[in-house]
Amino acid sequence: MRSMTITEKILAKHCGKKEVAPGELINAKVDIALGNDITAPIAIREFRRIGATKVFNKKKVVLVPDHFTPNKDIKSAEQCKILRDFAIEQKLTHYYEGGEVGVEHALLPEKGIVVPGDVVIGADSHTCTYGALGAFSTGVGSTDLAAAMITGELWFKVPQSMKFVFKGRLNKWVSGKDMILRVIGDIGVDGALYRAMEFAGSAIKKLSMDSRMSMCNMAIEAGAKSGIIEPDDVTMAYAAKRAERPFKFYASDDDAVYAGVSEYDCSILEPQVACPHLPENTKNVGEVKNVSIDQVVIGSCTNGRLEDLEVAARILKGKKVHRYVRLIVIPATPLIYAEAMKRGWFDIFLKAGAVISPPTCGPCLGGHMGILAAGERALATTNRNFVGRMGDPRSEVYLANPAVAAATAVKGKIAHPDEVV
Amino acid sequence: MKLRGKVWKFGADIDTDRIIPARYLNTSDPKELATHCMEDEDPSFASKVRPGDVIVADKNFGCGSSREHAPIALKAAGVACVIARSFARIFYRNAFNMGLPILESAEAVDTAENGDVIEADMDTGEIRNVTKGLGFKARPVPPFMQELVKAGGLLESIKKRGAVV
Ligand code: SF4
């Protein structure tokens, strides 16, 4: 039998074959199919248009209206109502709104809806996040979602894999966000086009689940189909107490074939900042110091988890946000929100002068809750800094980790955390 | 299927936020989306593009979000076809799934200028720049995907398989 990567093994299992090879077109069973308030309305429209009446499995179709919620305006309310009506009609197990909704890619792993070894598709490009659990997960369009909702299957081209091996100890204030930004800076926004990015090495083994999710989340920013990390003890500790289904660990064969292998020494990695208007425009934070900032956003499916809020709280403790900076903190899920409050971080944020938003995508995609005017500049822990991503097309977004974001909020210009603490 | 139209040329890494900014995603109405198509890249595009026009763009066209609103907006704006050096993965998938013709050809991209008239034969992958008198062959589309297009898109093909309940 040919040697396979973890991605190839998961795909082979889900299409009922002993082995698959890159380039092969397969029809694979889907464990979870996800849609949100932007993409699901089109999928539901298509679902009805071709005469479908029932989803393949009411436990496996997940709808999360998180982008424009709490409903921003009448139009978004109408989009969300399409999801709500469909969820009620189909009796979907996993539909979340109101005080139960969170940013989808933080919510699904937290609730144990996605588990190691799964094939997950989502009509949202950052569906690749769940690779952190050792699942094959990938973003697709609304038509794909409709097809998966009906049949429980979808066509895939088996991707080639690229391996990124991280060694050495991470410096203070450096996290998974910096590791992935560095990779994107090196290979570019299409550097992994059509491929699976596999993150490995001793530094990955030591990485928290939150940081692993930040990394896999941004695989799409290098054009990748998916990002994945071999499950280990950290995965087991995370999944064991959450998984709602039995799960399986897959691992790459030692002699599996990769389209490329690159190595990174974490000990020389500094906090990274991606400058406008592409995530590949990465620099060491020291090279972009003194860029003045009007707004800082800490949140999103990339960095709105506990670890992210914790480091922000550590830096902001006893500090004041710069007089002319708006700091918006968005815990990604209700559980993270409650936990952050319990641990006293809300006091720190509020005393510092931050706004605390309910869980939502909000400003990450220029939706609501923190839109930029022409000429304004934001630093955000989100994943995209495209033209107009957070508001007016003449505004700018810089991407960084939450520590840099918190320090920047205090200084009013892009800053290294050491300058503040 | 043969197409003929005027070229709108764009650069590399045209992301989905430029094809249709996220601030307009609170609707999925094709006509409304079309009025904001390419707005942040070229504000005059939506009012000037004519049915049948062709977008020619450099590498990684459609990178970013999975929103099908992007190919929907292009189609509804009248764009008949996109020719690019390469496409972002989800955009590529979406275009086939919903029937927006796309072709990959580095040569066609390198030689095309705004306003050139281009002909494309979607069956053979032949592209002709009529203005410049040049001919090219696009990268072949896998047979499986040609079948998808022939069936009328992914959902129609599922329906034909009898998998709809
Ligand atoms: S937080 Fe941002 S990137 Fe993540 S799903 Fe929401 S809009 Fe998309």
- Give the ipTM: 0.92
Residues 6 or more apart whose Cβ sits within 8 Å of residue B97: A141, A143, A144, A147, B68, B148, B153, B154, B155
∠ at Cα A126 (A121, A127), nearest 5°? Answer: 25
Is A387 a member of any domain? yes
Instruction: Kindly state the helix (H) or strand (E) to which residue B136 belongs, with its residue range.
Output: strand B134-137
Q: Count of A–B CB contacts within 8 Å?
A: 147
Q: How many angstroms separate the CA atoms of B151 and B132, rounded? A: 35
**Tell me, what's the pLDDT at B90?**
94
Instruction: Pull the structure tokens for residue A82.
Output: 């399409």
**Tell me, what's the pLDDT at A389?**
96
Q: B160 or B71, which is more confident?
A: B71
Output A97-102 pairs: Cβ under 8 A, ≥24 positions apart: A97/A65, A97/A69, A99/A334, A100/A334, A101/A64, A101/A65, A101/A66, A101/A69, A101/A334, A101/A359, A101/A360, A102/A64, A102/A66, A102/A332, A102/A333, A102/A334, A102/A335, A102/A336, A102/A359
Longest dimension (CA), chain A: 64
We report the CATH number of the domain holding residue A251 as 3.30.499.10
Based on the domain organization, do A301 and A395 belong to the same domain? yes
Please say which residue of A226, A243, A264 terminates a domain. A264
**Tell me, what's the pLDDT at A182?**
98
Partner-chain residue, chosen from A75, A76, A388, that has the shortest CB–CB distance to B21? A388
Based on the domain organization, do A73 and A186 belong to the same domain? yes
- Do the Cβ atoms of B70 and B62 come closer than 8 Å? yes
Could you please report the per-residue DSSP string of B62-104? TBS---THHHHHHHHHT--EEEES-B-HHHHHHHHHHT--EEE
Based on the domain organization, do A50 and A72 belong to the same domain? yes
Protein residues whose CB sits closer than 6 Å to any atom of ligand 1: A 67, 103-105, 124, 126, 300-301, 361, 364-365, 382-383
Protein residue closest via CA to atom 6 of ligand 1: A361
Based on the domain organization, do A254 and A289 belong to the same domain? no
Based on the domain organization, do A291 and A259 belong to the same domain? no
Please say which residue of A239, A264, A289 terminates a domain. A264
Query: CB-based contact (8 Å) between B37 and chain A?
Result: no
Instruction: Say how many domains are in chain A.
Output: 2
Based on the domain organization, do A114 and A251 belong to the same domain? yes
A366/B23 Cβ within 8 A: yes
Q: B81-84 and B54-57: which strand pairing?
A: parallel
Query: CB-based contact (8 Å) between B15 and chain A?
Result: yes
The size of chain B, in residues, is 165
Partner-chain residue, chosen from A123, A157, A387, that has the shortest CB–CB distance to B17? A387
* Segment A6-27, tens digit of pLDDT: 999 999 999 999 999 999 999 9
Is A289 a member of any domain? yes
Residue B124 DSSP label: T
Based on the domain organization, do A237 and A322 belong to the same domain? no
Based on the domain organization, do A316 and A402 belong to the same domain? yes
What spacing in Å lies between the alpha carbon of A231 and ligand 1's midpoint? 24
Is A1 a member of any domain? no
Q: How many angstroms separate the CA atoms of A372 and A379, rounded? A: 11
Is A126 a member of any domain? yes
* Segment A46-80, tens digit of pLDDT: 999 999 999 999 999 999 999 999 999 999 999 99
Residues 6 or more apart whose Cβ sits within 8 Å of residue A237: none
Based on the domain organization, do A181 and A305 belong to the same domain? no
Q: How many angstroms separate the CA atoms of A390 and A399, rounded? A: 12
**Tell me, what's the pLDDT at B92?**
94
Residue B150 has pLDDT above 80, yes or no: no
- Do the Cβ atoms of A174 and A158 come closer than 8 Å? no
SS (H, E, C) B96-114: HHHCCCEEECHHHHHHCCC
Percent of chain B with pLDDT over 90: 76
Q: Which CA distances in Å does B21 have to A22, B65, B143?
A: 34, 10, 33
Q: How confident is the model at residue B165 (pLDDT cuts 50, 70, 90)?
A: low
Based on the domain organization, do A138 and A253 belong to the same domain? yes
Is A178 a member of any domain? yes
Nearest CA in chain A to B165: A52
Based on the domain organization, do A194 and A309 belong to the same domain? no
Smallest Cα distance from A338 to chain B, Å: 29
Is A323 a member of any domain? yes
Give the residue numbers spanning the domain of A361.
Answer: 272-416
Atom of ligand 1 nearest to the CA of A332: 1
Contacting residues of B for A76, CB less than 8 Å apart: 26
Question: Helices A40-49 and A142-151 sit at what angle, rounded to 10 degrees?
Answer: 60
Round the CA-based radius of gyration of chain A to a whole number and report it: 20
* Segment B51-64, tens digit of pLDDT: 999 999 999 999 99
Q: A153-157 and A25-29: which strand pairing?
A: antiparallel
Query: CB-based contact (8 Å) between B159 and chain A?
Result: yes
**Tell me, what's the pLDDT at B163?**
73
**Tell me, what's the pLDDT at A374?**
98
Based on the domain organization, do A238 and A362 belong to the same domain? no
Which of A48-62, B14-28, B82-96, B151-165 has the weakest average pLDDT?
A: B151-165
Q: How many angstroms separate the CA atoms of A108 and A106, rounded? A: 6
∠ at Cα B90 (B84, B95), nearest 5°? Answer: 60
Is A421 a member of any domain? no
Distance of CA B78 to the CA centre of its chain: 10
Smallest Cα distance from A321 to chain B, Å: 28
Residues of chain A with pLDDT under 50: none
Is A15 a member of any domain? yes
Please say which residue of A245, A264, A283 terminates a domain. A264
Q: How many angstroms separate the CA atoms of A388 and A290, rounded? A: 22
